[in-house]
A and B are shown apart, each in its own frame.
Chain A
Amino acid sequence: MTATALPATTPPVVADAPSPRKARPFFKRFRPSRLVVNVVLGGIALFWLVPSLSMLIISFRPAGLFEISGWWKVFTVPSQLTLQNYKELFSGGSSTALGGGVPSGLAPGSVLDSLRTSLEISIPATLLVTLIASLTAYSIVFGRWKGRNIVFLTIVGLMVVPLQVALIPVASLYRDMGSAFGWNPFGTISGVVIFHVAFGLPFGIFLMRNFYTGIPTALIEAGRIDGAGEWTLFRRVVIPLGIAAAASLAIFQFIWVWNDLLVALVFLGGDPHVPLTLFLYDQERTLANNFWIISTGSMVSIIVPLIVFLAFQRHFVRGMLAGAVK
């Protein structure tokens, strides 16, 4: 296209024309000296690592040192590093003093309990959102009922609704459910899961719908002509084809729910079984001198999403790109 637009009397440029298609950085010729860019970005990358590094180091230093010497001193005395904080955190209050005599004040096993609670919330919330969003998206894309576009656009509109607008009524809805059906999800893990699923749906449906519109309708029609039911089509055709999108959604949702604080705080606040984010929030509010618990607990809380992210990086980024507006 570029080449044809050029006057034929400029042979060097025309000769050049086929090469630009090579995927080379288009700022290549800019070169504010490659070295400078490398050094600057290297500096930025190191700078970006400092906070994570500090948390990592504090979690491996004796608690008694926290107040009297900065974590960066570890580079001069690497022998300070110890696993004691992790031992203490997981055994939970079994020993009375640690390092410089800092009492832990932790209920036994509370971190393990929080780890379990985080999983108990995140896993069902992730699976349910993925399943329900896929079903809804299927209906919107392949169904034949009227008003599908309106329903889809309504759901797009719901994507940005701040969950704050729903907290109070949902809390009272949960309590009403308790008096009506004898099942009150308020203060239970189910209550948190239901809330996360509902608020994860608009984005989930949006993402799955965008993917499903790429599946040829003819495929579904052919299946229908052959007498396949909708459930069969969904299970045997659409789910296998849409597995990549479902994975993106699941990873994204999992990390989102795992990292949530507000929903857990509202529906589980004060409960003995709290997810890790809420555990950290509570720890920060106790008057104890317990930054080592917070740092070590933070490390524990990021391990799971870190593994999930590193294992499914592409899926996560794809999900994020799809839903840039959540």
Chain B
Amino acid sequence: MVVVAVGRQRGPAGRIRRRQGPHHLQSLVFLIPGVILLLAIVVWPAIATVRYSFLNGTATKAVGLSNYKSLFTTADTLIAFRNNVIWVLVFPVIVTVLGLVFAVLSEHIRWATAFKIVIFLPIVFSVTASSLVFTQIFELNPQVGVVNAIVQTVDDWFHPPGAYPLSAGQTAASLATSGVAAGPKGTLESTATFRAGGTVKMGLTGVNPDTLTVLGARQARLPVPVGGAVSGLVWRDFSISNPSNISGVLPGEEGFPNLNLALVRSNGSTVASATTNAFGQFSFPNVGTGRFRVQILASNFTPGFSGTFWLGPQSLSPTSNLSQTAQALLSVPLIDISMILAYLWIWAGFTMVIVAAGLAALDREVLEAAHVDGATEWQSFRRVTIPMLAPVLTVVLVTMVINVLKIFDIVVNMGVDTSQPGGQSSTLASDIYYYGFGGGVHTGLASALAVILFLLVVPAMLFNLKRISGK
């Protein structure tokens, strides 16, 4: 690169020097709009912020260092610091590695350009729009959020839910209405005992009518007694037209299909099993002698997976005997992890493109030399490419650190209820906004936080200056 014009012009010709006057002035005039804007909107306000940080909440009285003191002692802002630490420790490294992997791997494929565009595209979208998309992706309801839908599918596979999953807080016993009561271990059992030839009636309520509709339930009908068998009916013992009639099988009352039943002796041993049909009927043929109860198995009521609240307040905390504050500061909220995943989706394309540009600019002769000298691909990647890419990787890393120090858009959009000061996902930038302009206005605190944010960025500024002035 040609580095001219920085440093004094040593023009040999006096002629030029004579003409310097008006040019000198004119080119200084060009500086005016830029410098005025920078001084008025960037430099002076930054200094004013330092002043505000020593004033009270309404900027009317000097309070010394008390804003800073309260920042480092109140739980609310400490949570924000914790979240910034999580972001800075976790995100930049992962996104840089991801960019490196994508950049290197895409050198092997013919459709690298298409791949890069697909990965890069999210950068072009606003973080606001992307955050809203991920809010829906992480939705609690498995009917809406694809992540919970996948978890549900996998979970159902390992722990299949029953045909009549209980809703939260409901017990099997609460369904029993007539001729049936709670049995051992979440089962329901007929209250009476029966011999061969007997007919059992078990009435249940409290089940969503939609569930019955989906299962194809029909009008409940008592089965005809069969010699040698215990047969019976399980039905929805509730009629809107005649709600007070309990235990009668009325028109409009449906059978419970697909219920898994067992025939048990009084000592609890299972003799036979059966499943109800669409009318709610069942039959245990040839039961032999003795008295039996009919048991409705607990597995019929196993609730399915109802979704993990990925954007909720739960967190991974150390289980220890630390104080509550210390524990809060050491825990990682689930929503931070969800947001970091979303942010990786947004920014991996950026790191990939920068690293790919760095790869393209590498001196391939050095790598060829490594090959010639017998280095394996992994060795030359590890010992030659990575060291040669180090400056680029550092720039990417620093850029991403600055980016997440200021993290705001994703925090307020994915954590609508948790980004207020003290909220599980609040950060320095979101606190600055809320103290400065949101609900609880306190310009002193907001300014002190801004000053701290600025101080955190200063190392990056020096890194930049060193890099650029050293060129």
Contact = CB atoms under 8 A, between A and B. Distances in A.
Interface of A: 1-2, 5-6, 13, 20, 25-31, 34, 37-38, 40-41, 44-45, 48-52, 54-55, 58, 66-72, 132-133, 135-136, 138-146, 148-149, 151-153, 155-162, 164-171, 173, 194-195, 197-199, 201-202, 205-206, 210, 212-214, 216-217, 221, 224-225, 229-231, 234, 255, 258-262, 265-266, 269, 276-277, 280-281, 284-285, 291, 294-295, 298, 301-302, 305-306, 309, 313, 316-317, 320-321, 324-326
A25 B107 contact: yes
B25 to A, nearest CB: 9
Given A45-B118, A302-B125, A325 B464 contact: yes
Contacts of B27: 138-139, 142-145, 230
A144 B23 contact: yes
Contacts of B357: 321
Contacts of A217: 4-5, 9
Contacts of A20: 364-365, 368
Interface string B377-408: 11001000000000000011011001001101
Nearest to B3: A213
Contacts of A301: 125-126, 128-129
Contacts of B9: 144, 217
B30 A136 contact: yes
Given A52-B122, A168-B436, A259 B399 contact: no
Given A72-B146, A301-B126, A162 B52 contact: no
A136 B453 contact: no
Interface residues on B, range: 35 or more
B154 interface: no
A322 to B, nearest CB: 11
B48 interface: yes
Contact of A281 (B11, B412, B449): B412
B108 A160 contact: no
Interface of B: 1-9, 11, 15-16, 19-20, 22-24, 26-31, 33-35, 37-38, 40-46, 48-49, 52, 102, 104-109, 114-115, 117-119, 121-122, 124-130, 132-137, 141-146, 149, 345, 350, 353-354, 357, 364-365, 367-369, 371-372, 377-378, 381, 395-396, 398-399, 402, 405-406, 408-409, 412-413, 416, 429, 432-433, 436-437, 443, 446-447, 449-451, 453-454, 457, 460-461, 464-465, 468-469
Tell me the dominant secondary structure on chain B's binding face.
Answer: helix
Contacts of A164: 406, 429, 432-433, 449-450, 453
